[in-house]
Structure 1
C-alpha cells in the first residue's frame, strides 16, 4: 500500500498547486492544457493497447464490458458520486460564484463533476495502475517503483487538470485510494495465480479505454467512458476461460 499512499499524496499536492494557479489562466489556455493532456493520453492508450497478443480478447472484453456498463449505468453512477461530493464539499466555493447568475453556478457545478470523473478515469486506468498496485500488494519492489513513476506523472497531470476543472479534481485522490487499494488487496489474495497473459490483455483493454478517454479530452467524441470499465474485469476472465479450456490464444503466425 506504500505506493498507493504516495500516489494519493502527489495527486493532492498537484491538485492544490493547480488550484493556486488555475484562476490566473484564461479559458483559452485551460482548454489548450486539457487538449494537450488528451494528446498524451492518446499516445499512452495506443502504446498500452499493443500489449495484446490476440485482438479478439480485447474486442470481446470491450463489447461485453460496455453492455454490462450500459446496463448498470456506471457512467451516470460515477457522475452522481461527483455530484454528491460537490454538494457536500464544493457548495460553498460554487455558491460564491456570482450567486445571482444561475448559468455560472451551473457551469461551476458541471466543471466540478467533470474534473472529478475525468481525473478519476485518467489516474485509475492503465498498466501502471493495475500492475503497480497488484505487484505492490504482492510485496514486490517493482510494484512500488511502478507506482512511484505513476505518482510523478499523476502529480503533474492533477496540477493541469485542477487548473482547468477546479476543485473537483482533488477528490479523484479518493478514487485512486479505493481503486489501487482494492487492486493491492487483489495482489495479496490472488496476485500469484494471475498469468502474464491476463495482465497483458487487461493492459491492452485499459489502453483502448484510454484512447476513448483521449477523444473526450480533445472534444472529438463525448463517450460514456465509465461504461467500458467492466471490460477490465472481463479481459482476464476470458483469458482464464481460454486457459482452462486448453485454447491457444496466442497462435503462432
Structure 2
C-alpha cells in the first residue's frame, strides 16, 4: 500500500501528542532540560544534513532567494494565524501554545531527508521501511514537544500526511518523467538545504535564537529549479 507509511507516520505523531498531553505535569525543570536535549540533537542532525551538499553554492542561493520569497509572502505570519485560529477553535490554557506547537512540530516533521526519501521509496518501490522508522522517531518527538509546547503539536500530523502522501502518489509515476541522475542530485541538495533549516529549528528549540524558519521553505522550490536547470545545461 503506497500510503501505508504516510498514514502510520501521522498516526504516531497523533498518538505521541495525546500521550504527551496526559504527561503534561512533568516538572518544568525537566521539560526545559529535555527541550535543550532535543534542540541540541536537532542542531547536530541539521549540521549532518547540511554537509551532504555536492555544491554548497546551490544551498546558499536557495536559502537566500527562498528567504526573500518567504518574507515577501509572510509565510511564518500566515502559519501563526493558522495556529491562532486552531487555538481559538480548540481552546488552550496557555496562550500561544497551539500556534507554537503546530508550527514547530510541522517544521521538524516535514523538513528533512527522511520525509522525502521515505515517501519516494513508498511510491517507487512500495517500501515503507524509511517512513516506519521516521514514525517511531516522530512519535517520541511529538510526545516531548507536546509536554513543552502544548497540544498544537497534534495538528502537525495533517500537513505531514498531506506532504508525504502527495510525494508518494506522485512518485508512483516519477520514473517515467524524471531522470535518475536529476532525482539523485535534487535529493542531495534538498537534504543539505533542509538541513540548514533543521539546524535553525534546533537553535530555536534550544532558545538560542528566534529565526523565522518557515520563511525559508520556498528554498526547497528554488533548489528544485536550480538543480533542474543545471542538469539540462550540462546534459
User: TM-score, structure 1 length as denominator?
Assistant: 0.86
- Please name the residue that 2:204 is paired with: 216
Residue pairs, 1:7-46, within 5 angstroms: 7-22=9-24, 24-46=25-47
Matched, 1:161 2:150: no
Q: Structure 1: which 5+ residue stretches go unaligned?
A: 98-107, 248-253
Number of equivalent positions: 229
Larger of the two Rg values belongs to structure: 1
CA distance in 2, matches of 1:31, 1:227: 26
CA distance in 2, matches of 1:135, 1:56: 28
Matched, 1:6 2:8: yes
Matched, 1:190 2:202: no
Deviation of the 1:191 alpha carbon = 5.4
Residue pair 1:134, 1:183 contacting (<8 A) in 2 also = yes
Residue pair 1:134, 1:191 contacting (<8 A) in 2 also = no
CA distance in 1, matches of 2:66, 2:147: 33
CA distance in 2, matches of 1:4, 1:195: 21
- Please name the residue that 1:251 is paired with: none
Which deviates further from its counterpart, 70-79 or 187-196?
187-196
CA distance in 2, matches of 1:186, 1:38: 33
- Please name the residue that 2:100 is paired with: 114
- Please name the residue that 1:101 is paired with: none
Deviations 1:144-193 (A, max 9, x none): 11101100000100000011122111111112112112222332343561
Equivalent in 214, 221, 228 of residue 240 of structure 1: 228
Deviation of the 1:12 alpha carbon = 0.9
Deviations 1:72-124 (A, max 9, x none): 00001111111111122x22xx3xx4xxxxxxxxxx12122111110111011
Equivalent in 142, 146, 153 of residue 130 of structure 2: 146
Residue pair 1:135, 1:191 contacting (<8 A) in 2 also = no
Deviations 1:23-42 (A, max 9, x none): x2122222222111111101
CA distance in 2, matches of 1:230, 1:165: 25
CA distance in 1, matches of 2:84, 2:167: 25
Residue pair 2:87, 2:96 contacting (<8 A) in 1 also = no
Equivalent in 176, 180, 204 of residue 160 of structure 2: 176
Q: Structure 2: which 5+ residue stretches go unaligned?
A: none
